[in-house]
Structure 1
Amino acid sequence: MILLLKKLHRYWYFISVLLVFLLFFPYIYFLARRPEKNYARIARMRRWVSIGGSALAGVFFKVTYESKIDWNRSMVLCPNHTSVLDITALTYLCPAPFSFIGKASLLKNPVTRIFFKTIDIPVTRKSKVSSFKAFQRANELVRNGRSVVIFPEGKIDDSFPPQIHAFKSGAFRIAVQNDVPTVPIIIENAWDIFFDDGSKRGSRPGVVKIHVFNPIETTNFNDDNASELEKVVYDKMHSYWIMKNKSYFHNLENLQKICQERS
């Protein structure tokens, strides 16, 4: 019964986002005719569509900071990735316009398509050419004073509960080449509310908690030691992730031991 309700909530979530999107679509379509000129306006509409749709489905967001963030700076934002809610979490978090780097399949989604054809950056991760073009586009945006969001794990973990896996280097190379800070971000519990796309476990209303670390300046890093920056960011995020989810993982380990003993 609970799973059925979660499956129904998942459908309601997507319907809610679509309804809000359709409400604003004429204006978004008008802006999309000149994406460079209307970059900030398109980003603002993406923000209201995602936040509004989530709110209709009873999903809200709460942010904690290590220190105040100047969102007007050009930065590379590095969040973990466990849920479709992560996109909304970032739009809620960052009031300044920015671009996502995301999988090319989002071009097939009726809501995200128009944003990935205008202000966001689609990438086919198995294609070196596509990855190179996405890297170049992100570099161009950062050089022009804009921020980009890159999920450094590259994908959502297949296992449940998800863990933080090894990072890819792209985000950190972009940061050091343009001498802009990286901002580690942990989206703590989106996976517990809406894991991945919800197709297996459904979703539920709730409050997604987001923790923003201090920006890490990249002045002392370069192409030769960008891997050190990657390690610093990974260690911060991984330690915080384990701390916030240790009770869940501890209970899971105990359950697995009991099952093994009984078998």
Structure 2
Amino acid sequence: MIHFFRKIHRYFYLGAVCFFFGLLFPFLYYFSRKPSRYKFLNHVRYLLGLSSSAAAGIFYFINYEEQIDWNRPYIICPNHTSNLDITAMSISVKTNFAFMGKDELLDNFVTRLFFKTIDIPVNRDSKISSFRAFKRAQDYLKSGVSVIIFPEGKIPDDFPPTLHSFKNGAFRLAIELKIPIIPVTIKDSWKKMWDDGAKYGSRAGICHICIHRPVDTKDIELADADLLRDRVFGIIKTELDNEA
């Protein structure tokens, strides 16, 4: 019976996403037409994520370990267990940003608009696609736009989810450009909706997010990218373990 109600809740949540996407579409369309308007596109994305989640009784509690200077760009690295993580990051990051994500998101009628414009699609199985994606991320960061990269590369297949090893790309990029990394622990979004909710449905509740203090990279050499990766992994894993 619980599984049945969770399935119903997922359909309600998806319906809310569709409703608010349609309601906000004139603004999304207008702001997506020119790169100069992309920062406003993120404001509408914030409204879309917050309103559709709230309609389904899903809310986000964000804890910042310290005050973040959002006047500079960052590479932001959260763990990834749920589609709700996109909304979690959209409302947590208080500056202009772009997601880097799998190119399959171009097939989704909601995320397609963002990944054809402000966001960065990548096929991780293609070296050319990865090169182009990280070159675009580099250009964003140099222009002052933060980039959100899920370093696990995807939502892992195991349930309950565990933290999987991180890819190196984000950390090499951070060292090359001397851009600080913000680790983010999204603690329990999977309990509200694991992955896309297709298997276990979803439910109302509060998702807890911890925005850790930035990790400086100005004195780190490229040869130490693995150490930086492991440091960020350790910060997130420790926070997850404390919640267990």
Q: TM-score range by the shorter chain?
A: over 0.9
Corresponding position of 1:41: 40
Corresponding position of 1:100: 99
2:100 match: secondary structure: strand
Corresponding position of 1:140: 139
Corresponding position of 1:181: 180
Shift of 1:222: 2.4
2:101 match: secondary structure: strand
CA-to-aligned-CA distance 1:28-80 (integer Å, 9 cap, x gap): 1122221x110111111111111111111110000112111122220000000
1:9 has 2:9 as partner: yes
The separation in 1 between residues aligned to 2:96 and 2:53, in whole angstroms, is 19
Shift of 1:236: 1.1
Counterpart mapping for 1:31-110 below 5 A: 31-34=31-34, 36-110=35-109
TM-score (norm 2): 0.98
Corresponding position of 2:220: 221
The separation in 1 between residues aligned to 2:151 and 2:238, in whole angstroms, is 16
Corresponding position of 1:25: 25
What amino acid sits opposite 1:32 in the alignment? S
1:107 match: secondary structure: helix
**Larger deviation, residues 221-230 vs 166-175:** 221-230
- For these two proteins, the number of residue pairs brought into alignment is 244
Shift of 1:243: 1.6
**Larger deviation, residues 75-84 vs 43-52:** 43-52
**Larger deviation, residues 123-132 vs 77-86:** 123-132
2:206 match: secondary structure: strand
The separation in 2 between residues aligned to 1:71 and 1:164, in whole angstroms, is 27
The separation in 1 between residues aligned to 2:212 and 2:165, in whole angstroms, is 19
CA-to-aligned-CA distance 1:180-224 (integer Å, 9 cap, x gap): 100010000001110011111100000000011110010111222
The separation in 2 between residues aligned to 1:70 and 1:55, in whole angstroms, is 28
% same residue:
44
CA-to-aligned-CA distance 1:223-246 (integer Å, 9 cap, x gap): 22111111111111112111212x
1:29 match: secondary structure: helix
1:167 match: secondary structure: coil
2:156 match: secondary structure: coil
**Larger deviation, residues 64-73 vs 162-171:** 64-73
What amino acid sits opposite 1:142 in the alignment? L
Structure 1, unaligned stretches of length 5 or more? 246-263
What amino acid sits opposite 1:88 in the alignment? T
* RMSD (Å) for aligned C-alpha atoms: 0.9
The separation in 1 between residues aligned to 2:51 and 2:15, in whole angstroms, is 12
Corresponding position of 1:237: 236
What amino acid sits opposite 1:169 in the alignment? N
1:152 match: secondary structure: coil
1:73 match: secondary structure: coil
The separation in 2 between residues aligned to 1:82 and 1:203, in whole angstroms, is 13
The separation in 1 between residues aligned to 2:98 and 2:193, in whole angstroms, is 23
2:36 match: secondary structure: coil
The separation in 1 between residues aligned to 2:222 and 2:109, in whole angstroms, is 38
Corresponding position of 1:258: none
The separation in 2 between residues aligned to 1:191 and 1:232, in whole angstroms, is 24
1:161 has 2:160 as partner: yes
Corresponding position of 1:130: 129
The separation in 1 between residues aligned to 2:27 and 2:81, in whole angstroms, is 31
Q: Which portions of structure 1, spanning 4 or more consecutive aligned residues, are displaced by more than 2 angstroms?
A: none
Corresponding position of 1:253: none
